[in-house]
Structure 1
């Protein structure tokens, strides 16, 4: 019963840990395979460039054609000129989805659906660089100032924070795997549960830190994207599935950490027999074998705990068989059981 109770005690946190690991894996696999519609719908941010226009509202390609390639007439800044050149060279796709380790791109159909046909190679500490991806550096060598100032500041912040976010997700994933391995030792004792609860605490802290960072960072990036590029017909939106996955992972990690801690305080897994033996007592009472003898109370027939009556003074006139009251010849009566 001890081991069975111990296994039942750690079943809940172990299942919660498996749920956290599965949810984190979903986050990691987002935007990594162009042929998978399920993975393509797991993204943090989508940049929709299907309706690119000049700052005045006219088509970039129409403006470029009418001016015969005179980039000085395209707009008041180099960014609009770079957009026109990239669009004419088919370097800009209709949309871009940003994931944890890469991005996916594709075209928007006439029905309004998004079809992915390309995903970048997964890369550690990935961040989406619009200047290089959209090939906006073909018109100028000064790529630092080609983006609008408000968007450039947001992109630089995103570049820095995205590296920390990747590290947080990596630590959360590794800690969750270690938690599952160490959790196997929790079957043996509460000390194993204590060690597992420490690891689960680390996994939870980095999971919630990564989730908060991703949600806040891309919310800020969306706002900067909309305010700086809306005049060019660009639209930014946040994904849904990847945020559901990361916050489910956070909830599972919290539940696992809580139940691992509880399992370290109860369900020791030691049977009562072993517990009594540690205290010098045998918890199992052996059955009496037939035809054995045990000492009876004094006087005969008294129950343990009874106060024995005071014996009458002995006189020589009393017939005491076998001289029971003489110490040198005294014997102890036994009863047959």
Structure 2
């Protein structure tokens, strides 16, 4: 029989673990459905290309005509005019979406593992006849390299965190019956907390670097603005807080609330409870005819031998055992 106190003891960490699972599922589902504002608002990075412009500080092409197009700016304008460059791009964990005007979150790509957003490839800048890789600033290339290298780590951290959360919930069911269940669940919860914390820290730092690299290179000279998605960061950090709380309460449940019910007749607690709640028991007493019992060392009468006429007659069976309260 399950103890009600044990159920109450693990309710908080179990609910917190479910909340962690919900947060991770939202991160994975973000961007997978076209025109779904609820899920597609959970982007890591948003790039606005509506106002591609050039400034006089940009390096000009020396083609003899002294036109006002830079190498990178010319590639961007060519991509905008001939290659269908979109107004907006939003980047998610496993894909990206792109759209023009008010058709928000349209044209979402199929989700895939180890996804990373390469603007040079996605925008088709090398398909404009200009090898823009040779004209990219060092900070821009460094930011993309960091993002590319970290994209696999981010994906692994979120996937393993999701798996650890699922295992925590499954193993946590055994914690209803025993503190040993809480003991093993605590290890799973600790792994869950460490993984989602690592994922949150990594994704926050990486996309801050990417945003800085894009804005430093593209915002001032070309009018392309990049912003980090605060909603998805809120979701992943809230999930991290839930995971840390779940780990703490799972650890606390190891020390508190035994899984055995005191009302189970076969349990030691039940026998102890009955002994404490029943101060009176029955005990056999000596018979005046059959003599004292084994527990009595003094006979019931201390008179001398009786005359033969008063000798007790042999009795058959056992005498009635009166109720006698136990001295406590």
- What is the root-mean-square deviation in Å for CA atoms of aligned residues? 3.4
Shift of 1:277: 6.0
- Which residue is 1:85 aligned to? 78
In the alignment, structure 1 residue 108 sits paired with structure 2 residue 101? yes
Conserved 8 A contact 2:174-2:181 = yes
State TM-score, norm by structure 1.
0.77
3-state SS of 1:47 partner: strand
Cα distance in 1 between the residues matched to 2:104 and 2:161: 32
Cα 1:336–1:236 change in 2 (3 A) is: same
Cα 1:335–1:173 change in 2 (3 A) is: closer
- Which residue is 1:131 aligned to? 120
Conserved 8 A contact 2:54-2:222 = yes
Cα 1:219–1:212 change in 2 (3 A) is: same
Cα 1:117–1:294 change in 2 (3 A) is: same
Conserved 8 A contact 1:125-1:166 = yes
Shift of 1:272: 4.1
- Which residue is 1:120 aligned to? 109
Cα distance in 2 between the residues matched to 1:36 and 1:70: 50
Where do 5+ consecutive residues of structure 1 fail to align?
A: 64-68, 297-317, 324-333
- Which residue is 1:330 aligned to? none
Cα 1:288–1:121 change in 2 (3 A) is: closer
Listed one character per residue, the Cα deviations across residues 270-295 of structure 1 (whole Å, up to 9, x for unaligned) are 1347799659x7653597999x7634
In the alignment, structure 1 residue 188 sits paired with structure 2 residue 174? no
Conserved 8 A contact 1:86-1:136 = yes
Cα distance in 2 between the residues matched to 1:97 and 1:17: 29
Moved more, 145-154 or 30-39: 145-154
3-state SS of 1:115 partner: coil
Conserved 8 A contact 1:273-1:282 = no
State TM-score, norm by structure 2.
0.78
Shift of 1:214: 0.9
Conserved 8 A contact 1:40-1:116 = yes
Looking at secondary structure, tell me which structure has more strand per residue. Answer: 1
In the alignment, structure 1 residue 99 sits paired with structure 2 residue 89? no
